[in-house]
Amino acid sequence: MNLYKKIYRSRAAVFILLASVSFVIFADDAQYAVDRAAMVAEIEEYARLNGDQAFAKRVMQSMASVQRHEFVPDAQKRFAYANRPLPIGFGQTISQPYIVALMTDLIEPDSDDVVLEIGTGSGYQAAILSGLVKSVYSIEIIKPLATQAAARLQLLGFDNVTTRLSDGYYGWAEHGPFDAIVVTAAASHVPPYLVRQLRRGGRMVIPVGGRFLTQQLLLIEKTETGEVKTRQVIPVIFVPLTGEH
């Protein structure tokens, strides 16, 4: 076989390989898009059955656009768009999509808002917030998760999310006060540091209760006069907020 035929066949083989890989990737992405659309429809139906008003259109658009499969371990990718929490390692979970949508909707995000998140986890909630607000500051206490989430968010282009390895109980005062605070782990009580870092007119959502006790998702609003109002939303199950406090 002459040299030109060898080169031609070699290039043809590479082209076929690349085409087959591209087809697999495209098919994979297409299936995830279908699964994501089904997840959004299920969230909307779940909200209706639970008596919620429809979530804000902007919130649901963010839920429809963020690729949840990028925020779960490889072994969990086939379940990425199921409406349930999934393990992400180190005893932590990525929250149920309906709960993510609910908590995001409750803070009524605005494009000019600066938001604090306690419990970065895999980075999914921060990614959902990213397209809805001006900037997100997210704190994670578990070092491997903090490192992974920071790299993942940067790689996926969520440039307005800043992460930090720290104890979220104490907040992030230098970037406060915050227009909204989202806490993704259950505290035994509402941390006073977070209340102080909430801007007047701001909103905080936080699950409160013990690991083996009934937890309640609370909506905390600070009025323009500084009064703090609290409302129970729904019973929930979250991993506990950890740290030395």
**244 pLDDT higher than 80:** no
Residue closest to 92 by CA, chosen among 32, 151, 174, 148: 148
Q: Would you state the pLDDT for residue 19?
A: 40
CATH number of residue 179's parent domain: 3.40.50.150
The residue from 62, 95, 122, 130 that is catalytic is 95
The contacts found for 6-11 with CB under 8 angstroms, 24 or more apart, are none
Q: How confident is the model at residue 5 (pLDDT cuts 50, 70, 90)?
A: very low
φ, ψ at 108 (rounded to 5°): 50, 60
Write the CB contacts of 85 (distance below 8 Å, at least 6 apart in sequence).
93, 94, 95, 96, 99
Catalytic: 95? yes
- Determine if the pTM surpasses 0.85: yes
Q: Would you state the pLDDT for residue 213?
A: 72
Is 18 within the bounds of a domain? no
pLDDT digits (tens, 9 = 90+) for 27-85: 457 889 999 999 999 999 988 887 767 899 999 999 999 999 999 999 999 999 999 99
Is 35 within the bounds of a domain? no
The predicted model gives 165-169 an average pLDDT of 96
Is 78 within the bounds of a domain? yes
Please tell me the distance from the alpha carbon of residue 160 to that of residue 162, in angstroms, as a whole number.
7
The predicted model gives 218-237 an average pLDDT of 96
Number of domains in the chain: 1
**145 pLDDT higher than 80:** yes
**24 pLDDT higher than 50:** no
Range of the domain at 110: 56-236
